[in-house]
């Protein structure tokens, strides 16, 4: 089988396409013929040796933590899937290949009217965003949500899911092209947080109240400013730290009974699989009904996977980057 392989944690330059042996699924695993792979900032961090899970990973390493395709072979204890099923899901690694293995309970059947490319874009961004908004943030219809990094993979998912949940969505991004894009995808209001004062603009959009929750995949100083945008009882949902890891002043939580909540999809996959499944099925149903349209910014072939990573690293991607074998 063909796969992108890293022999060192050397980033994009260290990637090469190689022929590998086809792996055999263990009793609770499934071998999938990959039709499309979603790329994520997490993959960039992983291949560069900069992700928090790198210390548990061995070289050579095949990247790819989400993908869609067709079930080829199931382990002895797998009952919920069978060869021929169309699936999407998360992979511990290895989905940037034409075949890959994952746990059966990390895969979900894909309705026939969802294409493989759209399906590959769902697990890391859309499933994770729903987990954070629904289970961590406990957001309810009518509440107001501020999304930082709203044109990126997980930020855009939060905008679209927020609208499908009946929230008022204020989308923040660093330039007007990105903001036009997210407005087109359903954001109610937008903020250019490079040129506008984030707190002042949020307060003017919310009659001085602030928002009920902030979806934050960025961290750093922007996150500290966003903390002041939370209303009484507001929830700060921490998804990632591409802008740096901030130290939170706990007094600013106390004064308005706010909460700071870590949101890890991995936690739900490993420790709350029923909630993970519920979120995945919620997303797949709405995508199948056309209520959420996964936004694919760029699609590359496997031979061009370095270009795909470079596009992602340039930070100019609108929506998801997907690679097909
Ligand atoms: N917790 C979870 O379950 C989970 C799931 C998926 C992803 N994540 C994390 O969420 C973060 C974002 O992932 P993503 O796939 O959405 O990435 P992405 O598509 O690259 O989007 C990230 C956004 O962050 C902003 N940004 C600010 N500083 C940046 C920097 N130094 N480098 C890159 N982008 C920067 C950019 O928006 P502006 O220019 O508009 O600010 C960009 O659009 C990553 O840390 C990822 O690991 C967490």
β-strand pairing of 230-238 with 259-262: parallel
Is 182 within 8 Å of 171 (Cβ atoms)?
yes
Ranges of each domain in the chain: 2-121+294-324, 125-266
Q: Residue written as tokens 């089988």?
A: 1
Q: How far apart (Å, rounded) are the C-alpha atoms in residues 150 and 146?
A: 9
Span 44-61, mean pLDDT? 93
User: Residue 262 Cα, ligand 1 centroid: separation in angstroms?
Assistant: 15
β-strand pairing of 320-324 with 296-301: parallel
Answer whether residue 316 shows pLDDT above 80. Answer: no
| Tens digit of each residue's pLDDT (9 = 90 or more) over 99-140 | 999 999 999 999 999 999 999 999 999 999 999 999 999 999
Q: Is 87 in the pocket of ligand 1 (CB under 6 A)?
A: no
Is 283 within 8 Å of 161 (Cβ atoms)?
yes
How many CA atoms within 13 Å lie on the side-chain side of 234? 23
Signed CA dihedral, 182, 63, 35, 74: sign only: negative
Is 44 within 8 Å of 125 (Cβ atoms)?
no
| Per-residue confidence (pLDDT) for residue 145, from 0 to 100 | 98
User: Residue 218 Cα, ligand 1 centroid: separation in angstroms?
Assistant: 6
Give the CATH number of domain 2-121+294-324: 3.90.180.10
| Per-residue confidence (pLDDT) for residue 203, from 0 to 100 | 98
Q: Is 269 in the pocket of ligand 1 (CB under 6 A)?
A: no
| Per-residue confidence (pLDDT) for residue 301, from 0 to 100 | 97
Answer whether residue 292 shows pLDDT above 80. Answer: yes
State the greatest distance between any 2 C-alpha atoms of the chain, in Å, as a whole number. 61
Q: Is 317 in the pocket of ligand 1 (CB under 6 A)?
A: yes
Signed CA dihedral, 227, 229, 234, 240: sign only: negative
The mean of the pLDDT values for the chain is: 96
Pocket test for ligand 1, best of 46, 122, 135, 315 (most atoms within 8 A of CB): 315
Q: Is 265 in the pocket of ligand 1 (CB under 6 A)?
A: yes
Phi-psi region of 69 (alpha: psi -120 to 50; beta: other; left: phi over 0): left
Q: Residue written as tokens 């961004």?
A: 125
Is 162 within 8 Å of 185 (Cβ atoms)?
no
| Per-residue confidence (pLDDT) for residue 319, from 0 to 100 | 86
β-strand pairing of 259-262 with 211-216: unpaired
| Tens digit of each residue's pLDDT (9 = 90 or more) over 87-96 | 999 999 999 9
User: Residue 71 Cα, ligand 1 centroid: separation in angstroms?
Assistant: 31
Q: How far apart (Å, rounded) are the C-alpha atoms in residues 163 and 25?
A: 39
Tell me how far apart the terminal alpha carbons of the chain are, to the nearest angstrom. 10
Lowest mean pLDDT among 44-58, 161-175, 208-222: 44-58
For ligand 1, atom 37, name the residue with the nearest CA. 149
pLDDT bracket for residue 278 (50, 70, 90): very high
| Per-residue confidence (pLDDT) for residue 294, from 0 to 100 | 96
Q: What is the pTM of this model?
A: 0.96
pLDDT bracket for residue 315 (50, 70, 90): confident
For ligand 1, atom 14, name the residue with the nearest CA. 153
CATH class of domain segment(s) 125-266? alpha beta
DSSP 8-class letter at 14:
G
Give the distance, in angstroms, between the CA of residue 21 and the centroid of all CA atoms in the same chain: 29
């Amino acid at each position: 089988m063909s796969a992108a392989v890293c022999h060192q944690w050397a980033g994009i330059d260290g990637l090469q396409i190689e022929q590998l042996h086809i792996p055999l699924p263990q009793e609770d695993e499934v071998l999938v013929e990959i039709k499309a792979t979603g790329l994520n900032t997490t993959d960039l961090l992983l291949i560069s040796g900069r992700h928090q899970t790198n210390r548990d990973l061995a070289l050579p390493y095949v990247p790819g933590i989400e993908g869609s395709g067709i079930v080829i072979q199931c382990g002895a204890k797998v009952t919920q899937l069978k060869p021929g099923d169309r699936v999407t899901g998360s992979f511990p690694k290895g989905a940037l290949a034409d075949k890959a293995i994952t746990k059966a309970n990390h895969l979900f059947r894909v309705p026939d009217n969802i294409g493989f490319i759209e399906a590959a874009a769902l697990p890391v961004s859309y499933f994770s965003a729903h987990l954070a908004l629904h289970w961590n943030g406990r957001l309810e219809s009518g509440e107001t949500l501020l999304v930082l990094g709203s044109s990126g993979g997980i930020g855009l998912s939060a905008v679209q899911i927020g609208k499908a949940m009946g929230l008022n969505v204020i989308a923040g991004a660093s330039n007007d092209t990105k903001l036009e894009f997210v407005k087109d995808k359903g954001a109610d209001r937008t903020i250019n947080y490079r040129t506008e004062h984030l707190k002042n603009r949020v307060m003017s959009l919310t009659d001085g109240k602030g928002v009920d929750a902030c979806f934050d995949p960025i961290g750093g100083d922007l996150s500290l400013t966003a903390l002041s945008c939370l209303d009484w009882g507001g929830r700060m949902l921490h998804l990632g730290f591409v802008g740096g890891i901030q130290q939170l002043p706990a007094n600013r939580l106390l004064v308005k009974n706010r909460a700071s909540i870590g949101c890890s999809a991995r936690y739900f996959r490993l420790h709350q699989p029923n909630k993970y499944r519920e979120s995945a099925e919620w997303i797949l149903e709405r995508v199948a009904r056309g209520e959420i349209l996964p936004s694919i910014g760029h699609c590359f072939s496997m031979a061009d996977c370095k270009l795909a990573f470079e596009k992602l690293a340039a930070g100019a991607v609108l929506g998801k980057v997907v690679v097909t074998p």
